[in-house]
Structure 1
């Protein structure tokens, strides 16, 4: 028979292929019987320390039906006999006496000997007799042994048609393939990460295919490109289950005679998966499976609607992958992509798995790719084409894609009617097609509005219209019925920023003759939001526009800039990512920070400070290049700018870094890879330069700036030592002169922290230097000791006595009272200080003095 393995094919197998074949056969049969994989042990070795046992099945639940596998314990030996001398009666007699076989028989096992050879009546009888005698001689029941020759193995294997497709036999079943062939498809490579919906469907699929659930047919539906085929593959690829599955990429790959053979061969069973199968084909295939009396489990895959899954128990609708799981999948499959780049791809592909993977592959080849280029990449373009094969449907979708969202109902329906007229489609047909696209998941609903999804599809469709009718589209803006629809048009333009015609429009709007002629035009929330949208389309033009609008404004005007400020700060935060717009954006952030009027953490000041962080600066510009901006700020006549420069230096050396995420995924192109240091040398160079800038700030004529710089130095000291630059800190500490008690206490805390927590980074000489510096800063005079123990205690002062460094701080303060009582002149000199708020612990001193 065309779908059956012959005994001769088994006889011709090489020894290793015979072992592999019988392993596959045992796994397939165990799955049919419902014996779990944990109860089945097989070997891929032809020889080895197996003690005579090549396979072992522990059917503790007695699921076996006794045809090929017996209930309870079964052990197997595999023998090839191409030479005719490997399975002689004498050799089989010896095999039956091996320790592993003897032990299994003593446990009550059924002993099976599978030989890759056909034997005539007498030859077979001789071998069976030898096996029976061997068991009898050992005191076991001779009926506990079964001989399976190539004849029996061929009949058994023909009950599992997927075995015919093993490479050992090279026998096709139409265009069908086994799971291992199926999973080699390049579309199914990489980690599979299911969301909750997928995990639940996969579990139902496994239970269905394993006959743990009733029914003949299970249907998996969903939109094109959401990963239906991969989901079914992942559900069926597990041990045993994979041995019984046959996969056809489309119904035409099933040979017509297969169904007749399955129907007539009443001992045969299979799990049959048919892809690209529409509803009509699925109904026909189910009728064929029904005729096989439950021996064929049919799984069909096709495009369908979600509401059908609600009314049919064995029909499942696969939703698009949720955003978080999409990101996890891309992170696992493309580990070199940054989180921001992954977020950009996830935003554009909206849960279409195949599209997300195709976009990532295109991105890996060209990291500076934009939306338009991405849509034209061959692998991406192919997926997009599949989503919309019908030209009339594409025309309506092109119209809908021109706006971020299109009104189609009630008082906003004029938006849709205007677009329908633009593409020459009857309004009734326009609405019908839009509704059909909604059912397919390519159009989303938001109240009275419709929008194309995913974003990449919308951009691809809109770009086609701009290429063909760009000049007419410019006129269309003026014909749109409401300001909201015009704004929605410009929002779509954002993703088309690199398209020649679209870029001309964006640049015109951002020019001095466009929508924004002064800061007053930005000081409006809606206008500022629109500017932000245009900046995402064309960062370079937006940067020039902002420099024109804000560059010459006074501090007072920038401080009164409130209504549009938030959107402009977000815009600058986005612009700083790119090398060509970084410096302009940074200088404008500094100007806004100097005129700060917001209290949120990501205000202009926060963004300015954080962009100098070593690893999370939110820009592709190297840290060393960024320091020139701090140098500029330190040279400013504005003390406020010099203070902001000091804060930025502290940001450079901060041990804890954070960065806000706002518009990174929203632009027409992804943000570039964030700069990170690759060597310690790069880090050391940046830190040394930052410390030199801090030296300059500590000498600033404005005491507030100098004080802030000294504070930043002390706070950064431990971080600098921890990266291996201890001498840079020690040299400066030796020159450090505290200006007041607070600075003295902070200096002591810094030194004590270094000795306690960074001691392993210090040499013995460096530790000695630090101890000497601490003594010098602390001082030994009555004044020094009084201010230390009666003033605010440092962290180290609290537990100094536990380290053997004298009495507790309370007692130290009390002892000073005794000294003051003996020397009243010392007390009189400190009376004003003792009655000030700075004498935080005067109670202990005063109580003893009293």
Structure 2
């Protein structure tokens, strides 16, 4: 049963080229973060309307805890918004019409012993082509043959379609929220106006820089349990903005869901996160009293590191947390700089 918390194949089929690449980019970052692949290993360009040399995204020297999306070692991904017949699959990896030369990044990948992954935002599994053959199998066979013809008979080739992708996407409520919304819960982009409150420029002081690093390290640190982070400070001091900026990294933001304590507790997402051993998220709970914090800590603290819990409150009362961060007012000079950066008449 889906309980409204999952995407279906049809939700991601028919994406434009830009949308397909951008969405897969988010999925790749979310998966890399969840399986603890270091940030520097994942390369997915923001600009996609450039000559890609046959590769849209790359992960290098990966040692994933599972290989559902990211194989071990180095892998290169070519992303397509629609199906490619076998003939076009072969053309996709070559520079010219007569297929005498592989595209440079494809050739480089194969020379490194890497895995070539074709990602197609169409359903191929179990779909026969006109000749009755399985579409997924024929596309893979075409690529394997093309690489063998160019001197790479043992090339590792994978083809992912929407049936494959959707099972991975649905592990990340943040990605589901981006596409269809989740009641009472926001993804990172929808959370932004509340977090920034009209101040486009974030101006940290030395202590805030250190606190941001602490949050990032805590979220990324391998652990057998859910990391629990408590952020406190006076009303209006910038607690939520600090957390927002700390999570503004590709490998973090695509796993973030945000809500107030009251919204989160009645959303249904909290119970799903507790019950579903595959759901992965960085949970940010705002306006979270000490009692609410302890309640959520009891729910999620014993869980494994597929979850991180960050709670924010103006109440400095002691709670159970792995990390406690107190945000203090900016000094006078930094406050003046902040005003100048955000308000032209300051």
- Alignment TM-score, normalising by the size of structure 1: 0.36
Residues 20 and 121 of structure 2 are in contact (CA less than 8 Å); yes or no, is this contact kept in structure 1? yes
Assess, with a 3 A threshold, how the Cα gap between structure 1 residues 69 and 120 changes in structure 2: closer, same or farther: closer
- Report the alpha carbon displacement of residue 32 of structure 1 after superposing the two structures with TM: 2.2
C-alpha contact (below 8 Å) 1:64/1:70 kept by paired residues: no
Determine if contact 2:261/2:292 at 8 Å carries over to the other structure: no
Q: What is the CA–CA distance in structure 1 between the aligned matches of 2:285 and 2:307, rounded to whole Å?
A: 12
1:88 is displaced (CA, Å) by: 0.6
Distance, in Å, in 1 between the alignment partners of 2:321 and 2:136 is 54
Cα distance between partner residues in 2 of 1:128 and 1:335: 57
TM superposition shift of 1:300: 0.6
Contact 2:228 2:321 in 1 (8 A): no
Matched, 1:284 2:295: yes
Is the alpha carbon distance of 1:293 and 1:30 closer, same or farther for their aligned partners in structure 2, counting shifts above 3 Å? closer
After TM superposition, the structure 1 = structure 2 runs for residues 250-269 of structure 1, keeping only pairs within 5 Å, are 250-269=261-280
Does residue 19 in structure 1 map to residue 21 in structure 2?
A: yes
CA separation of 1:112/1:254 partners in 2, compared to 1, >3 Å: closer, same or farther? farther
C-alpha separation between the residues in 2 aligned to 1:138 and 1:245? 43
Unaligned runs of at least 5 residues, structure 2 = 95-101, 127-133
Native 8 Å contact 2:185 2:267 kept in 1: no
User: How far apart are residue 127 of structure 1 and its match?
Assistant: 1.6
Question: How far has the Cα of 1:147 moved from its partner?
Answer: 0.7
Per the alignment, residue 222 of structure 1 pairs with 233
- 1:94 and 1:266 map into 2 onto residues whose CA distance is 41
1:535-582 Cα distance to aligned partner (Å, 9 max, x none): xxxxxxxxxxxxxxxxxxxxxxxxxxxxxxxxxxxxxxxxxxxxxxxx
Q: Does 1:95 align with 2:104?
A: no
Match of 1:817 in 2: none
Query: Which residue of structure 2 aligns with residue 73 of structure 1?
Result: 74
- 1:308–1:315 contact (8 Å) kept in structure 2: no
Q: Residues 12, 235 of structure 1: CA spacing in aligned structure 2 closer, same or farther, 3 A cutoff?
A: same
> Which structure ranks higher in relative contact order (CA pairs < 8 Å, sequence separation ≥ 6)?
2
Paired residues of 1:133 and 1:142 also in contact (CA < 8 A): no
Distance (Å, rounded) in 2 between the aligned partners of 1:293 and 1:212: 10
Aligned pairs for 1:181-580 within 5 A: 181-185=190-194, 187-212=197-222, 215-290=226-301, 292-305=303-316, 308=318, 313-337=322-346
Q: Counterparts in 2 of 1:722-761, with a 5 A limit? A: none
1:231 aligned counterpart, secondary structure: helix
How much does 1:46 deviate? 5.7
3-state DSSP of counterpart to 1:218: strand
Q: Deviation of residue 280 (structure 1)? A: 0.9
Q: Deviations over 1:8-31 (max 9, x none)?
A: 111132222111111111111222
1:155 partner SS:
helix
User: Which one is further off, 21-30 or 140-149?
Assistant: 140-149
Q: Provide the secondary structure at the position in 2 that maps to 1:246.
A: strand
Q: Secondary structure at the match of 1:205?
A: helix
Check 1:136–1:267 CA distance in 2 against 1; reply closer, same or farther (3 A cut).
farther
Which residue, out of 154, 176, 187, partners 2:166? Answer: 154
Note the 1:780-819 alignment, pairs <5 A: none
Q: Is the 8 A contact 1:208 1:215 kept in 2?
A: no
Whole-angstrom CA distance in 2 between matches of 1:101 and 1:319: 51
Shift of 1:154: 0.6
**Would you say 1:40 and 2:42 are equivalent positions?**
yes
Q: Is the 8 A contact 2:260 2:286 kept in 1?
A: yes
Counterpart CA distance in 1 for 2:47 and 2:326 is 44
Paired residues of 1:80 and 1:87 also in contact (CA < 8 A):
no
* Cα shift at 1:277: 0.8
Number of residue equivalences: 327
Select the residue among 2, 5, 22 that pairs with 1:3.
5
Superposed displacement of residue 298, structure 1: 0.6
Contact 1:176 1:247 survives alignment (8 Å): yes
Q: Which of 9, 31, 34 is matched with 2:33 structurally?
A: 31
> Mind listing any 5+ residue stretches in structure 1 that lack a counterpart?
338-850
Partner of 2:130: none
SS at match of 1:183: helix
For residues 24 and 177 of structure 1, do their structure 2 counterparts lie closer, same or farther at Cα, with a shift above 3 Å needed? same
Is residue 222–residue 317 contact of structure 1 (8 Å, CA) maintained in 2? yes
Report the TM-score when normalising by structure 2: 0.85
Which shows bigger deviation, 91-100 or 110-119? 91-100
Helix, strand or coil at the partner of 1:184: helix
Shift, 1:221, TM fit: 1.1
Other structure's SS at 1:28 match: helix
Structure 1 contact 251–274 (Cα < 8 Å) conserved: no
1:427-467 deviations in whole A, cap 9, x for unaligned? Answer: xxxxxxxxxxxxxxxxxxxxxxxxxxxxxxxxxxxxxxxxx
Q: CA deviation at 1:291?
A: 5.4
DSSP 3-state at the match of 1:273: strand
Deviation digits for residues 649-693 of structure 1 (CA, Å, limit 9, x no counterpart): xxxxxxxxxxxxxxxxxxxxxxxxxxxxxxxxxxxxxxxxxxxxx
Q: Could you give the per-residue CA deviations for residues 565-602 of structure 1, whole angstroms, max 9, x where no partner exists?
A: xxxxxxxxxxxxxxxxxxxxxxxxxxxxxxxxxxxxxx
Question: 1: CA distance between counterparts of 2:123 and 2:234?
Answer: 52
Structure with greater helix share of residues: 1
The answer to whether the 8 Å contact 1:262/1:292 transfers is no
Q: Is the CA contact 1:276–1:302 (under 8 Å) kept in the aligned structure 2?
A: yes
> What is the aligned partner in structure 1 of residue 56 from structure 2?
54
Q: Aligned pair in 2 of structure 1 residues 134, 243: CA closer, same or farther (>3 Å)?
A: same
Report SS of the residue matched to 2:193: coil
- In the aligned structure 2, how far is the partner of 1:331 from the partner of 1:162? 34
Distance in 2, Cα, partners of 1:141 & 1:314: 51
User: Deviations along 1:68-110, whole A, 9 cap, x unmatched?
Assistant: 21232110001122xxxx4111111222444121221111111
User: Using a 3 Å threshold, how does the CA distance of structure 1 residues 313 and 75 change in structure 2: closer, same or farther?
Assistant: closer
Mapped contact 1:176–1:254 kept (Cα < 8 A): no
CA shift, 1:140, in A, is 2.1
TM-fit CA distance, 1:290: 3.2
Whole-angstrom CA distance in 1 between matches of 2:268 and 2:183? 10
Check whether the contact 2:229–2:321 (CA below 8 A) recurs between aligned residues: no
Aligned residue for 2:99? none
Q: Name the structure where strand makes up a greater proportion of residues.
A: 2
Question: Structure 1 residue 180 and structure 2 residue 189: aligned?
Answer: yes
Aligned mates of 1:123, 1:313 — CA distance in 2: 49
